[in-house]
Structure 1
Amino acid sequence: MSLLDPSSVNESRRQAIAATIQPATLEELRAMGEQLFPFLDHPWRHQFFQFLDEHPDSKYFRASTDDGIGILYCKEHNRGIWFIPGSGVGILQETGLKILSEILQQQKPR
């Protein structure tokens, strides 16, 4: 895979996500949130936990890419975040949300 070929990187990430995507419980996500945002003043901490509190009965999924990016996804609300532990975090944009939705539609229910 060439680092200069974005389609190769995207396809590689898509394959890794499809291979690692799995349901995540609210308890698992709360524990993950504590690891991702250990400081109370982290700008993403409040948003992360507020979303979980507002949608406690939603179905959540987690996955990872082959280059170390973690992904959390809420199917019902088509929202998610990406994170690189200890480095960065952001909201999944339309393309990423579409890929996650497609992957879940293609997989058998768990």
Structure 2
Amino acid sequence: MQETSQADQVVITAPHRELLDQVLDKWSLQVLDKLCGRPSRFNELRREIPVVTQKSLTATLRRLERNGMVERVVVATRPIAVEYRITPLGTTLQDLIDALLRWSTANMADVERARARFDAEA
């Protein structure tokens, strides 16, 4: 068994919690997943994630841009367009997002059974 030193242990601090809350929230995962596939304009993202409101999508994109995961690029076309792209930092999340989606798909039936048991006992 390999021993771990204190230096190897991750301490969850307030900045860690804040970042994870912002990256793993309801809409961020979906936006990041879509943008890892290809750059998109705002309305393309709205069509790909039809349940998100304009206000929520705007807030999500700004939060992801602030955290360095997404960049907003003005495209010199007529009319001028804005495109959202995943950054190299954001790309590092793709394997993690895929793993979370695989895990949730593989375990959804167990989670639903646990919820039903809990709700029946409550």
TM-score over 0.5 for the alignment? no
**Structure (1 or 2) with the greater helix fraction:** 2
Larger Rg: 2
- Give me the TM-score of the superposition, normalised by structure 2: 0.29
- Give me the TM-score of the superposition, normalised by structure 1: 0.31
